[in-house]
Amino acid sequence: MEDLGEKFFQVVIALAIFAAIIGLIMLLVDRAPKSFRDKATIIGFLAPAAVLLAIGLVGPAVLTAFLAFTDRNGDPNGLDNFVWMFTQPEALVTLRNTVLWVILVPLLSTAVGLAYAVFIDRARGEKGLKALVFMPMAISMVGAGVIWRFMYAYRGAEQEQIGLLNQILVWTGSEPKQFLLDAPENTFFLIAVMIWIQTGFAMVILSAAIKGIPNEIVEAARLDGASAWQQFRNITIPSIRGALIVVITTITIGTLKVFDIVRTMTAGNFETSVIANEMYTQAFRANEPGRGAALALVLFLMVLPIVVYNARQLKMQREIR
Amino acid sequence: MGFVRSKKAVLPLATLSALALTLSACSPGGGSEEGGGGSEAAADCSTYETYGTFDGAEVSVYSTITDLEGERLENSWVDFEECTGIDVVYEGSNEFETQIGVRAQAGNPPDVAIIPQPGLLAAHAKAGYLKPAPAEVEALVDENWSEDWKGYGTVDGTFYAAPMLASVKGYVWYVPSTFEEKGWEVPQTWDEMMTLSQTIADEGTMKPWCAGFEAGEATGWPGTDWVEDAVLRQAGPEVYDQWISHEIPFNDPQIADAFNAVGDIVKNPDYVNGGFGDVRSILSTTVEEGGQPVLDGSCAMHHQATFQAANWPEGTTVAEDGDVWAFITPGEEAGAGAITGGGEFVAAYADREEVSAFQQYMASAEFANNRVQQGAAISANKGLDASLAQNPLDQQSIELLQDENTVFRFDASDLMPGAVGANSFWSGIVEWINGKSTEEVLDSIESSWPSE
C-alpha cells in the first residue's frame, strides 16, 4: 500500500511538471515579440508533440532499422538477417502465412460485412441483427483466441469431446480432427477468428455509408427499372467507394500486425506463425534482436504503401468536396 | 495596471516552480525496508564464530526467488546475521534476468546475486563484473560439492560462484498400488522400462504413458527434458557437454539415437497418450494436465521433474506407499546414476570481507540444513543432512544428488543459446511429435544454431 501511495505521488508530480512546462511554453509564446508571434505560436505548440514523437516513434524506428543489420552481439552483419528471413523454410512459412492473412481477412470480412449490411438494410429488427455481428468486435483478440481454442479443442475418439466443432464431427459420425495442428489448413482456422472479429467492423461502417446514399438516386434507378443487382452494382458500390477503401485498408493494416490470435491459439507452432509473432519470438525469446528488427522492418515496409494509399485517397476526397 | 506588473512576475515564478518540481522528483524515494523477523530464541553463535564479526556491515543480495520461497531463504540466514552482525539486505525480483544486466552495466550491481543460469553467470564473469570466489569459498565447495557442480560455477578456469539449491529432473511418476496389483516392477534399466511399457500395452487396461507438452509459447519443453535424459544416459556426460557447447552438431547420430529412443515411447501410438487420445494429442494437452491420467488409471507412467508434485490435486500423498510415487528415469545399466536438473549459484560483485563471509556461509552445510528443513528445497551439498528433508521425494532427490556415483548435468536447453534452447529446440520437438522425422527436425534445429 505504501508503495502504491508512493507511485501515486510520483504520477501527481509528473503531471504537475508537465503542466508547468506547458504553462511555461505558453507564457514564452505570449511574450514573444509581435513580428515573430505567429511563428512562435506554431513552433511553441507543435514542439512538445514533435519532441515526444521524435523520442517515442522516430528514434526507435531509426534504431530498429540499424538493428536489423546487426547480429546477436550488436556487430554489423550486413544482410545476414534478411538472407535468413528469405531462405529458412520456417521463416518462409511465416511470410507465406502473412500473405494469406493479408489477402483473405480484408477481402472476406469486407465481403461478408457488405453483404450483411445490404441484406439487413431496413429489415425488421435491424438493430438487433447488427448488434449480433458487431459484438465480436468488442472482444479482445486474446479473448477471441481463447474462445476459439475451446471451439477447436480436441480429445481422442475414445474420450469425451470438450470442443464444439469436434463434438459436431463426432455426432455426424466422423473422427475428431486436430484443427489447430493440421497444417496448412490450421492457418485458415485462425484466419476465421480474425474474420469473425472484423466482419462487425466492416458491416457497421458500410451500413452507415449505405444509409448515406441519397434517396433520389435510388428512386431514379428504380424508376428506370434497374434490378436489385444492377442497383447494387451501379448505385451502392460507387456511392460507398470511400467507405469501402477505408474499411479494407484499416482491416489490412490490422491484419498485417496480427499477433494476439496466433500467439494465444498456437504460439506460432504447427506452421501458423506470422511476421509479428515471429518478430517477438526472435527478439525476446531467441535473443536475436537483429532478426526481430529485420522482421519489423519488413512489416513496416509492407504496411507503408497501404498507409500512403489511404492518405492519398482521403486527400483526393477532400479535394473533390 | 497592477495586472501588468503581476504578469511580469509570473514568468520567473513559473520557471522556478518547474525547476523545483523536477528536482524533487529526482530525489530518491524512501529506503527499502529490510525484511525477515528476528528469531525468537537467541541463536547459538558457536557455529558462526569462523565467519568473524562485522558491526554495522551490510551485504545486498539480489535474486529471482520471491514470495514464500524468498521468505524461507531470508529465514535461513537470520542466525548468521545475528551472530556476525552483518545486515543482509535481500531483494527478490521476477525481472532479475534483465535487471541484473542493467544494474551491472550501470555500475550499480548488488554485492551478491543468486543466479539460476550458468550461461548468465559466465556472461557476467567474462564481462568482468564478477569477483573470483575467495579461497575459503573454493575450499568449502571442493569439500561439499561434486566436480560437476563446481564446474558450473567456473568460467575459463577461474572459480566464481558456489552452488546453492538444486532441482532434479527426469522422474517417472506412477501409482505404487497399481504396480503392485498388476505385478509390475519398477524398471532398473532403460530396456526394462521399454519391456514394461510393452507389457502394460499388451495387458490393455491402460496406455503405459501419458504426456502433455502444451505450454503456450514454450510448448514442447517437457520433450526437451526427455531427450536430455536420453542423451545423458545413453551417450554419456562427455557427449552431453559437447552437444551443449556445439562441439558436435545438433544432428549428430548420437543425438538422433537419443531422439529415436524417446520417440519409441512418445511417438508410439500403442504407448501414448493415456487419457487424451493419439500421439499428437500430447501437443494439445497442457503440462499441468499431462500427468493426471496416472491417478485415474488410464495411464501408467508420466515423465516429469520433481515439481510435478505440485500438479497433483490437493490431498494426494507423494510417497512410496502413498497415492503416487516416482522413480528416476533409469540408465542403460542398473544403478548407473546420471541425472539432469537445475540449480542456483551465489556470485559476488564485491570483494569486501563481509561479502566473503556471506559467500562462505552460503557454501556451508549449515546454510543447506537451515534452508532444507523449512521445506520445498533440496541441495547437492554433501554436508546436508538428508533426514531434514520435509517429504520423501526431497529426501530421495538429496540422496541421489549426494551419491558419489551420480553424474549431474544441468538442463541442456538452459545452457544452449536462446535461439536454440528457448526456441528451435522447443518448436523442433513440436514438429517432431506432429509427425516430422527425426532427421528433418534435427537438421532444422542445427541450422538455427547461431553462428560464432
CB pair distance less than 8 Å for B423 and A269? no
Same structural domain, A8 and A97: no
How far, in Å, are A3, B196, B437 from residue B429 at the CA level?
Answer: 43, 25, 11
Judge whether B184 and B354 are in contact, CB under 8 Å.
no
Optimal mutation site among A12, A159, A263, A269, interface B, most CBs of chain B within 10 A: A269
Q: Looking at the 3D structure of chain A, how many domains does it have?
A: 2
Asked whether residue A154 is assigned to any structural domain, the reply reads yes
pLDDT greater than 80 at residue A188: yes
Enumerate the residues of chain B whose CB falls inside 8 A of the CB of residue A27: 10-11, 14
Mean pLDDT of A184-204: 93
| Distance (Å, whole) CA B71 – CA B35 | 8
Judge whether B425 and A285 are in contact, CB under 8 Å.
no
Q: What are the boundaries of each domain within chain B?
A: 49-167+342-399, 171-328+416-448
Q: What is the pLDDT of residue B4?
A: 42
pLDDT greater than 70 at residue B52: yes
Give the range among A68-72, B95-99, B224-228, B388-392 with minimum mean pLDDT: B95-99
pLDDT greater than 60 at residue A39: yes
| Distance (Å, whole) CA B64 – CA B70 | 9
Mean pLDDT of B386-400: 88
In DSSP notation, A73-138 reads: TS-B-TTHHHHHHHHSHHHHHHHHHHHHHHHHHHHHHHHHHHHHHHHHTT-TTHHHHHHHHHGGGG
Q: For residue B21, what pLDDT band results from cuts at 50, 70 and 90?
A: very low
How far, in Å, are A20, A23, A143, B9, B90 from residue A31 at the CA level?
Answer: 16, 12, 53, 13, 54
pLDDT greater than 80 at residue B177: yes
Query: For residue B292, what is its C-alpha cell?
Result: 493426471
CA torsion sign, B293 to B296 to B300 to B305?
positive
Q: Chain A: residue nearest B447 by CA?
A: A88
Mean pLDDT of B239-265: 94
Same structural domain, A166 and A99: yes
CB pair distance less than 8 Å for A286 and B424? yes
Q: Report the largest interatomic distance among the alpha carbons of chain A, rounded to a whole angstrom.
A: 86
Is the domain covering B171-328+416-448 a CATH 3.40.190.10 domain?
A: yes
pLDDT greater than 90 at residue B114: yes
| Distance (Å, whole) CA B189 – CA B194 | 9
Q: What is the pLDDT of residue B78?
A: 93
In DSSP notation, B35-47 reads: --PPPSSPP-GGG
Q: Residue A132: how many CB atoms within 10 A of its CB?
A: 13
Residue B413 near chain A (CB below 8 Å)? no
Q: What is the pLDDT of residue B40?
A: 43
Mean pLDDT of A162-187: 88
Q: What is the pLDDT of residue B24?
A: 44
| Arch. (CATH architecture) of B49-167+342-399 | 3-Layer(aba) Sandwich (3.40)
Q: Where are the beta strands (DSSP E) in B160-223?
A: 162-168, 171-174, 207-209
Q: For residue B65, what pLDDT band results from cuts at 50, 70 and 90?
A: confident
Optimal mutation site among B19, B284, B298, B449, interface A, most CBs of chain A within 10 A: B284
Number of residues in chain B: 452
- In percent, the amount of chain B with pLDDT more than 70 equals 90
Same structural domain, A92 and A210: yes
B36: left (phi over 0), alpha (psi -120 to 50) or beta: left
Q: Which residue has the higher pLDDT, A302 or A74?
A: A302
Residue A278 near chain B (CB below 8 Å)? no
pLDDT greater than 80 at residue A194: yes
Exposed (0-12), middle (13-18) or buried (19+): which is B321, by Cβ within 10 Å? exposed
Residue A234 near chain B (CB below 8 Å)? no
Q: Which residue has the higher pLDDT, A2 or B430?
A: B430
A227: Cα within 13 Å, side-chain hemisphere: 2
Q: For residue A177, what pLDDT band results from cuts at 50, 70 and 90?
A: confident
Asked whether residue A249 is assigned to any structural domain, the reply reads yes
Looking up cell 493426471, which residue turns up?
B292
Judge whether B274 and B291 are in contact, CB under 8 Å.
no
Same structural domain, A44 and A94: no
Query: In CATH, what number is assigned to the domain containing residue A165?
Result: 1.10.3720.10
CB pair distance less than 8 Å for B422 and A286? yes
Same structural domain, A127 and A47: no
pLDDT greater than 90 at residue B77: yes
Q: For residue B25, what pLDDT band results from cuts at 50, 70 and 90?
A: very low
- In percent, the amount of chain A with pLDDT more than 70 equals 98
| Distance (Å, whole) CA B281 – CA B294 | 16
Domain endpoint, select from A67, A98, A114: A67
Domain endpoint, select from A67, A92, A111: A67
Minimal CA separation from A286 to chain B, in Å: 4
pLDDT greater than 60 at residue B41: no
Domain B49-167+342-399 and domain B171-328+416-448, same fold? Reply is yes
Same structural domain, A159 and A250: yes
Number of residues in chain A: 321
Give the range among A317-321, B93-97, B312-316 with minimum mean pLDDT: A317-321
Q: What is the pLDDT of residue B1?
A: 38
Looking up cell 546475521, which residue turns up?
B81
Q: Chain B: residue nearest A278 by CA?
A: B423
Q: For residue B181, what pLDDT band results from cuts at 50, 70 and 90?
A: very high
- In percent, the amount of chain B with pLDDT more than 90 equals 51
Q: For residue A7, what pLDDT band results from cuts at 50, 70 and 90?
A: confident
Instruction: Report strand pairing: B112-115 vs B58-63.
Output: parallel
Across the interface, of A21, A270, A287, the residue whose CB is closest to B419 is A287
Residue B283 near chain A (CB below 8 Å)? yes
Domain endpoint, select from A12, A39, A67: A67
Residue A13 near chain B (CB below 8 Å)? yes
Optimal mutation site among A8, A154, A263, A284, interface B, most CBs of chain B within 10 A: A154
Provide the domain limits for residue A238.
80-320
Distant-in-sequence, close-in-space partners of A238: CB < 8 Å, separation ≥ 6 = none
Same structural domain, A173 and A303: yes
How far, in Å, are B43, B151, B230, B242 from residue B238 at the CA level?
Answer: 46, 13, 13, 6
Give the range among A119-133, B16-30, B318-332 with minimum mean pLDDT: B16-30
Asked whether residue A234 is assigned to any structural domain, the reply reads yes
Residue B415 near chain A (CB below 8 Å)? no
Q: What is the pLDDT of residue B81?
A: 92
Q: Which helix (H) or strand (E) holds B61?
A: strand B58-63
DSSP SS3 for B158: strand
Minimal CA separation from B85 to chain A, in Å: 29
Same structural domain, A175 and A281: yes
- pLDDT tens-digit map of B417-447: 878 888 889 989 999 999 899 999 999 999 8
CB pair distance less than 8 Å for A13 and B21? yes
Nearest to B209 by CA among B311, B308, B300: B300
DSSP SS3 for B370: helix
Same structural domain, A217 and A105: yes
- pLDDT tens-digit map of B130-168: 999 999 999 999 999 988 899 999 999 999 999 999 989
Computed over every residue of chain B, the mean pLDDT equals 86
pLDDT greater than 60 at residue A206: yes
Distant-in-sequence, close-in-space partners of A166: CB < 8 Å, separation ≥ 6 = A152, A153, A154, A155, A176, A177, A179
The full 3-state SS of B238-274, as one line of letters, equals HHHHHHHHCCCCCCCHHHHHHHHHHHHHHCCCCCCCC
- pLDDT tens-digit map of A122-168: 888 888 988 989 999 889 999 999 999 999 988 877 778 888 999 99
Enumerate the residues of chain A whose CB falls inside 8 A of the CB of residue B223: none
Asked whether residue A75 is assigned to any structural domain, the reply reads no
CB pair distance less than 8 Å for A269 and B30? no
Q: What is the pLDDT of residue B32?
A: 38
Q: What is the pLDDT of residue A2?
A: 53
Judge whether B351 and B359 are in contact, CB under 8 Å.
no
Q: Which helix (H) or strand (E) holds B113?
A: strand B112-115
Looking up cell 529465514, which residue turns up?
B75
Optimal mutation site among B13, B26, B283, interface A, most CBs of chain A within 10 A: B283
Same structural domain, A25 and A113: no
Computed over every residue of chain A, the mean pLDDT equals 88
Q: What is the pLDDT of residue B164?
A: 93
Distant-in-sequence, close-in-space partners of B321: CB < 8 Å, separation ≥ 6 = B176
The backbone torsions φ and ψ at residue B366, rounded to the nearest 5 degrees and listed phi first, read -60, -45
| Distance (Å, whole) CA B273 – CA A309 | 52
pLDDT greater than 80 at residue B385: yes
Asked whether residue A262 is assigned to any structural domain, the reply reads yes
Q: Which residue has the higher pLDDT, B290 or B31?
A: B290
Enumerate the residues of chain A whose CB falls inside 8 A of the CB of residue B450: 71-72, 288
Mean pLDDT of B245-263: 94
Same structural domain, A119 and A224: yes
Mean pLDDT of B302-321: 87
Q: What is the pLDDT of residue B3?
A: 43
Query: For residue B237, what is its C-alpha cell?
Result: 556426460
Give the range among A109-118, B93-102, B344-353 with minimum mean pLDDT: B93-102
Across the interface, of A6, A89, A156, the residue whose CB is closest to B281 is A156
Residue A181 near chain B (CB below 8 Å)? yes
CA torsion sign, B86 to B87 to B93 to B97?
negative
Separation of CA A164 from chain center: 28
Asked whether residue A72 is assigned to any structural domain, the reply reads no
Q: Model pTM? A: 0.77
Same structural domain, A103 and A241: yes
Residue A146 near chain B (CB below 8 Å)? no
Optimal mutation site among B4, B7, B21, B272, interface A, most CBs of chain A within 10 A: B21
